[in-house]
Structure 1
Amino acid sequence: MTPYDAMLAPFVEFAFMRRALVGAVALSLGAAPIGVFLMLRRMSLTGDAMAHAILPGAAVGFLVAGLSLPAMTLGGLVAGVSVALLTGLVARTTLLKEDAALAAFYLLSLALGVTLVSLKGSNVDLLHVLFGSVLALDDQALTLLAGVSTVTLVALALIYRPLVLECVDPGFLASVSRSGGLAHFVFLGLVVLNLVAGFQALGTLLAVGVMMLPAATARFWAASLGGLFAVAIGTAVAASIAGLLLSYHLGTPTGPTVILAAGVFYLASLVFGRHGGALSRLAPPRRHRAA
């Protein structure tokens, strides 16, 4: 097999592969920066919980209109925002901490969503909702993914300063500005929006993977915030391309293969990463090395 047959031919010869590539790249551009901020704000597991929280809404949309993109998107968005608001309400009005409240809602959401889909759909429908269908993206889905990525990048640019300050020193931000609370809720809205968009391509159980694994990988290669964004986006795009090609040649499920490719980049970075990788930590300090 020539390099052309292995890497270029699938995208040149098949329109569904080109659509999948465009969708995956659009998702990477929006989701990877969100993942970086989740990691810096120590909210990595929040993304995973919110990915499950959108499932009941998507399931209700499925029950009402079948595999309809607008219905399932709207349902997932409403469910995700509702869980975020309920979590904050419980944390502020009871003794339960926010992480515990979010974990409870995420478990309830996952169970309720699977049950609702099972009431009307088949096992194939359930697999579609849980794991997505990146090779079946149509013009409507691509428009949604591109629109969400555009909104995400513009919104992040607008709330960039308070988000960064809240990561570094939330007490200082609270003392000099009241924008922290607004930025936090806008950011949570962007998390939900990107998870709903990712759900169309990778399903609810895998959407958070393209958000968090590239961000975690970037932490081992970049020290600046701009570097983290660049490496995270690059890793997400590279994992998408590798996953699509491996899925095409090996016949494996596309969504899980994309996430596995991102996982390989992460595991390699654990060992070889310049900033905190295993080998760099085992190496002697620079001042002790021989000239």
Structure 2
Amino acid sequence: MLLYEALIAPFTEFEFMRRALAGIVALSLGGAPIGVFLMLRRMSLVGDAMAHAILPGAAIGFLLSGLNLFAMSFGGLIAGFTVAILAGVVSRVTELKEDASLAAFYLVSLAVGVTIVSMKGTNIDLLHVLFGNILAMDDQTLLVIAFNTSLTLIVMAVIYRPLVIECVDPLYLRTVSRAGAPAHLAFLALVVINLVNGFHALGTLLAVGLMILPAGIAKFWARDITGMMLVAVGSAMLSGYAGLVLSFQTRVPSGPAIILVAAILYIASLLFGRAGGVVRKLFPGRHLEA
């Protein structure tokens, strides 16, 4: 009975908890596979930079329309795509590498976005933009997240083969096919779309958390890409569910609670994961084999 009251009752009794859980499921299905490919392509920090890059656009949407879902979403998408394109252009016409140009743009974007929100909004508005509030998600926001997740899964199914091949042997892909560049651009678009998804639920500072941490967890439990994606989705959902329960039972904010649970899972995987965990490497005996 105590377990029911702690783990299930919050979702059966409160609609906002059910809505938040549905949002977590959608974010996990769309964002976790994207995170796996970011990790495999050594673009994890690019995802973090892009998460901050959407802030000025969302802030301008906020400045014009307040906390309006579509204005902030559209502004975030435009800002994310603009920064991605500018970083690529700068890296090609100068000697600056793409990661360095992204870092510069993301710092400028973060400062501009915080300044814009601070000029019109209150401290509460700023906290909402930076850290989100998944418990305050309404039906409209949930539908937008669900639509973006569906679009992500469809596009991922189309570009899956060139993405996988590029992770393994990009030179081979350029030799046998011209699909590499379109697939890369489509993948960057999916990154931005899922960061906007995460922005509405977890804020700009934590939006990338349910993409990168589950991918890191999956790396310690599976060696093939399909297995990594399944583990990443499962761990993202588990982190979201446990984080919501933790937030409901304590005074920890929902967004940080979700990311903290994911961080605990990551540390446990780092230590005990069957595919490269610390304990596995220190004691590679037969008793640890599957």
Aligned letter for 1:264? I
- In the alignment, which residue of structure 1 is the partner of 2:232? 232
- The TM-score with structure 1 as length reference comes to 0.97
Match in the other structure for 2:174:
174
Instruction: State the partner residue of 1:99.
Output: 99
Counterparts of 1:48-87 in structure 2 under 5 Å? Answer: 48-87=48-87
Summarize the Cα distance change of 1:284–1:22 in structure 2 as closer, same or farther, 3 Å threshold.
closer
Deviation for aligned residue 1:139 = 1.0
1:5 alignment counterpart: 5
- SS of the equivalent of 1:83 reads helix
**C-alpha separation in 2, matches of 1:4 and 1:171:** 54
Matched residues in 2 for 1:3 and 1:284: separation? Answer: 37
Point out where structure 1 has 5 or more consecutive residues left out of the alignment: none
Deviations 1:151-203 (A, max 9, x none): 11110100011101110010110111111000000000000000001100000
Give the AA of the match of 2:258.
V
Secondary structure of 1:251 counterpart: coil
Aligned CA distance change for structure 1 residues 20 and 162 (closer, same or farther; 3 Å): same
Matched, 1:141 2:137: no
Instruction: Please give the root-mean-square deviation of Cα atoms over the aligned residues, in Å.
Output: 1.2
Give the aligned residue type for 1:168: V
- Three-state SS of the structure 2 residue aligned to 1:103 is helix
% same residue: 63
Aligned-partner Cα distance in 2 for 1:230–1:11: 24
- Secondary structure, counterpart of 1:114 in structure 2: helix
Distance 2:101 2:129 in 1: 25
Unaligned runs of 5+ in 2: none
Q: Which residue of 1 aligns with 2:187?
A: 187
2:275 counterpart SS class: coil
Partner amino acid for 2:23? G
**Distance across 1 between alignment mates of 2:246 and 2:51:** 25
- Give the aligned residue type for 2:86: L
Q: Once the two structures are superposed, what CA deviation does each residue of 1:37-62 show, in whole Å capped at 9, x if it has no partner?
A: 00000001000000000000000000
Q: Which amino acid aligns with 1:125?
A: D
Find the residue that maps to 1:222 and give its secondary structure: coil
- Whole-Å Cα distance in 2 between the matches of residues 284 and 230 of structure 1? 25
> When the two structures are aligned, how many residues end up with a matched partner?
288
3-state secondary structure, aligned to 1:159: helix
Report the counterpart of residue 198 of structure 2 in structure 1. 198
Alpha-carbon offset, residue 285 of structure 1: 5.1
Residue in structure 2 matched with residue 112 of structure 1 by the alignment = 112
The aligned counterpart of 1:244 is 244
State the alpha-carbon separation in 2 of the partners of residues 192 and 157 from structure 1. Answer: 17
Distance 2:170 2:276 in 1: 25
SS of the equivalent of 2:8 reads helix
Partner of 1:223: 223
